Chains A and B, each alone.
Chain A
Amino acid sequence: MRRATLLLTMSLRNVFRNRRRSLFALATIAMGAVGLFIFMGFNRGLMNQYRANTIRARWGHGQLYVQGYRDRAHPRPWEHWIEDPSAVMAQLRTLPGVLDLFPRLTVSAILVAGEHTVAGQGEGIDGAAEAGFFTQLNYRQGGDFRDRADGIVLGEGLARGLDVQPGEEIRLIVQGGEPAPSSAALRVTGIFHTGSQEFDSRAFRIPLGVAQRLLATDRVESIAVALGEVEAWPAFAEAVRASLPNLEAVPFDELDRIYYRHAVDWLDAQFAFIRGIILLVVFLGIFNVISMAVLERTREIGTLRANGDGRLAIALGHILEAVVLAAGWALSAGPLRDGVAMPPAPGITRSFRIQIELALGDALEVLGLAALTAVVGCLLPVWRAVRTPIADALRHV
């Protein structure tokens, strides 16, 4: 115990032995490690913000479908939708983590406004409920129809094709389950854009009740789910499997595989590369500083070995010093509160500010990585020094 204390004391004092050099060493580790720490915080913030935007733009934390529904196309899809959605949603609300539920269905329609007629594909949604959760949809003009029973929002291209503005009326004609087409008169409340011109040229949203009436069904195609937190999804999905086995729970990153999942994988690969570069810089800095320190103490090392200390014991003392040095900076990073402005992420039309999310886990990881880098960086010079013949080490100046 006393030896360990003395070794630690020695390491601490050695750190202050050549203050300028230690300061450079500390600065090297600190810059690298704090840079890495902030980078990880930035990365975490970016990923979390991107994830939150993706969830709140359209998908929710995931969606529920009838088992097998997504596997193939159906000539009369409404016959394969979720039956008795009110009862299903009542049961879903009892499951862990559920914040809100959003029943939806897809509807194809002919939209008529004055002389203009355009085909479109839209969704029937619970406007009031969705307005509270899906906050990331971008409106060029107007906004959600919320609880208006006759409201409709249109994609930018579709609105342009119909030549309508918010407040104007249009008629929807739908060929549903009945032999004759059904229709409804609706008033435009908003015009949105998603960034996908193809989507915006045919997409619209109408109240769920209107869509059900037009399709002559009381079913819903899917139920989007809002949870208290993303991490609650696996438990929720497991509960769905157990209590509603005819439903399939699909997480948002599976639904948005093309944009979100691939973007995350792509960014992760980039971040890993940058992290590697930062670690390499820290490693080279440490290697240089420790090499100098060890070279300066070659004679001391020779003395210790002449007095019967083993190579390993001496090396451990120097490695401990590197660890002490590496640990010195660990808590020096202050939280950055202002965030960093980011351009729109793939699949999302809004730019956003990244909060650099400094997390204890990241701090521990960076501490570990920098300490490991410092230790690895000192291994070679220390090993070379302790392997120097003792007589040569004693002569070293």
Chain B
Amino acid sequence: MSLYELRGVSYRYGRNGQAVSALADVDLDVEAGEFLAIGGPSGSGKTTLLNLLGLLHAPDAGTIRLDGRDASALGERERTRLRRERIAFIFQSLNLIPVLTAYENVEYVLFSRPLSSAERRRRTLDALAAVGIADQAGRRPQCMSGGQQQRVAIARALVRDVGVVLADEPTAALDQVTGRAVMDLLKRLNRDRGITFIFSTHDPRILAAADRVVHLADGRIAS
């Protein structure tokens, strides 16, 4: 059984006015532990596909199965619960909460789980250590470099130990050297911890680091 099974998935924006097709009839299987890249030019549907994989939308047509369960038929509340249990995100613009420290940003996402404070602390410090910024735990995002902030975002994605991390253009806001380092980190976490990474990018050098690349063009899988 695949981690993800997408069959005939379509999604349109602007339902009430002019509808624009973002994805059309997409079939895709993703296996657990994959390091999968979604490539394609801007507007090709990469972010929409990631949003659907992350259960942020329900598809207009088709089915999305996660762990064999049809997630496309779930309501908002069930999707939120499944997302909390199985999926983590890394965003292009990081989206860290500026008033919280690195430690607090990472710890915050654990509050939805019934963990003791000691266990929460252990996991938070482990996640920060795993991305190499344990010494920055007390700093706020605005006092950190872009690469450090991205590492906090990655630690935030890791800390819940959900097994699937979706990353939308994770290196787009970083310089080339930092971007490369971040991809190396993601790759290492994939290899050492067996975490499934699905990320979108249009940078050919980043695509080269992936185990498999799915190319999108005009909302369809090109290859």
- The answer, among A302, A308, A389, for a CB contact under 8 Å with B109, is A308
A17, B140: Cα distance in complex, Å? 12
A306–B32 Cα distance when bound, in Å, is: 21
Whether A14 sits at the interface, judged by CB under 8 Å, is yes
The total of Cβ contacts below 8 Å across the A-B interface reads 68
A17 x B98 contact (CB < 8 A):
yes
B143 within 8 A of partner (CB): no
Assess A306 versus B112: contact at CB under 8 Å? Given A6-B104, A299-B95.
no
Our pick among B48, B57, B107, B109 for the contact of A307 (Cβ within 8 Å) is B109
Minimum Cβ distance to chain B for residue A294 (Å):
14
Bound Cα distance from A259 to B41, whole angstroms: 83
**By the criterion CB–CB under 8 Å, are B88 and A307 in contact?**
yes
Say yes or no: B84 contacts A3, CB within 8 Å: no
Complex: how many Å from CA A9 to CA B48?
Answer: 35
Residue-wise, chain B 72-109 has the 8 Å CB interface mask toward A (1 for contact) of: 00000100110111001101010101111000100111
Q: With a 10 A CB-CB cut-off, give which of A303, A309, A389 has the most chain B CB atoms.
A: A303
Complex interface: chain A residues within 8 A of B51 (CB): 390-391
Q: Which of A309-324 contact B (CB under 8 A)?
A: 309-310, 313
B28 CB within 8 Å of chain A: no
Given contacts A2-B120, A300-B95, contact A10 B100 (CB under 8 A): yes
B111 in contact with A3 (CB, 8 Å): yes
Q: Shortest distance in angstroms between A307's beta carbon and chain B's nearest beta carbon?
A: 5
Q: A389-B57, A391-B51 are in contact. Are A303 and B80 (CB under 8 A)?
A: no
Which bracket fits the contact residues of A?
Answer: 20 to 34
Give every chain A residue within 8 A of B56 (Cβ-Cβ).
306, 389-391, 394
- The verdict on A202 contacting chain B, using a C-beta distance below 8 Å, is no
Q: Give the complex CA separation of A390 and B52 in angstroms.
A: 11
Assess whether B97 is in contact with A10, with CB atoms less than 8 Å apart: yes
CB of A55 to closest CB in B, whole Å: 56
A305 interface hit (Cβ, 8 Å): yes
A13 at the interface (CB under 8 A from B): yes
Question: In the complex the two chains form, is B120's CB within 8 Å of A14's CB?
Answer: no
- In the complex, which residues of chain A have a beta carbon less than 8 angstroms from the beta carbon of B97? 10, 300, 303
| Best-surrounded residue of A13, A304, A307 (most CB of chain B within 10 A) | A307
Chain A residue, CB-CB nearest to B88? A307
In the complex, what's the smallest C-beta–C-beta distance from A354 to chain B, in angstroms? Answer: 45
Q: Which size bracket describes the interface of B in this complex?
A: 20 to 34
0 or 1 for each of B44-74: is its CB under 8 Å from A? (1 = yes): 0001100100101100000000000000000
* Residues in chain B near residue A300, CB distance under 8 A: 95, 97
Report B97-140 CB contacts with A as 1/0, cut-off 8 Å. 11110001001110110000100100000000000000000000
A303 to chain B, nearest CB (A): 4
Are A310's CB and B80's CB within 8 A?
yes
A13 partner, pick from B99, B107, B117, beta carbons under 8 A: B99
CA distance A391 to B85 in the complex (A): 19
The complex places the Cα of A3 from the Cα of B120 at a distance, in Å, of 11
- Chain A min CB distance to B84 (Å): 3
Interface residues in A1-44 by Cβ distance below 8 A to B read 2-3, 6, 9-10, 13-14, 17
Complex Cα–Cα for A309 and B160 (A): 13
- Give complex CA distance A296, B120 in Å: 29
For the complex, give the distance between the alpha carbons of A389 and B81 in Å. Answer: 16
In the assembly, what is the distance between CA of A306 and CA of B56, in Å?
7
Q: Which residues of A contact B81 (CB under 8 A)?
A: 308
Q: Is the Cβ of A299 less than 8 Å from the Cβ of B99?
A: no
Which B residues are CB-close (under 8 A) to A13? 99-100
Give chain B residues whose Cβ lies under 8 Å from the Cβ of A309: 84, 109, 112
Are B111 and A308 neighbours in the complex by a CB distance under 8 Å? no
Task: Tell me whether B120 and A308 are in contact (CB under 8 A).
Answer: no
**Residues of chain B contacted by A17 (CB below 8 angstroms):** 98-99
- In the bound complex, do residue B83 and residue A308 qualify as a contact, i.e. CB atoms below 8 Å apart? yes
Instruction: Show 26 A/B contacts (Cβ-Cβ < 8 Å), sorted by A.
Output: A2-B111, A2-B117, A6-B100, A6-B108, A6-B111, A9-B104, A10-B97, A14-B99, A17-B98, A17-B99, A299-B95, A300-B95, A303-B89, A303-B91, A303-B95, A306-B83, A307-B84, A308-B83, A308-B112, A308-B160, A309-B112, A310-B77, A310-B80, A389-B57, A390-B51, A390-B56
Given contacts A304-B108, A308-B160, 15 further A-B contacts (CB under 8 A): A2-B117, A303-B89, A303-B95, A306-B56, A306-B83, A307-B160, A308-B80, A308-B112, A309-B109, A390-B51, A391-B47, A391-B48, A391-B57, A394-B56, A394-B95
**Which residues of B does A touch, CB under 8 Å?**
47-48, 51, 54, 56-57, 77, 80-81, 83-85, 88-89, 91, 93, 95, 97-100, 104, 107-109, 111-112, 117, 120, 156, 160
Give the 8 A-B CB pairs with smallest separation, nearest first: A308-B84, A13-B99, A303-B95, A3-B111, A390-B56, A391-B51, A307-B109, A391-B56
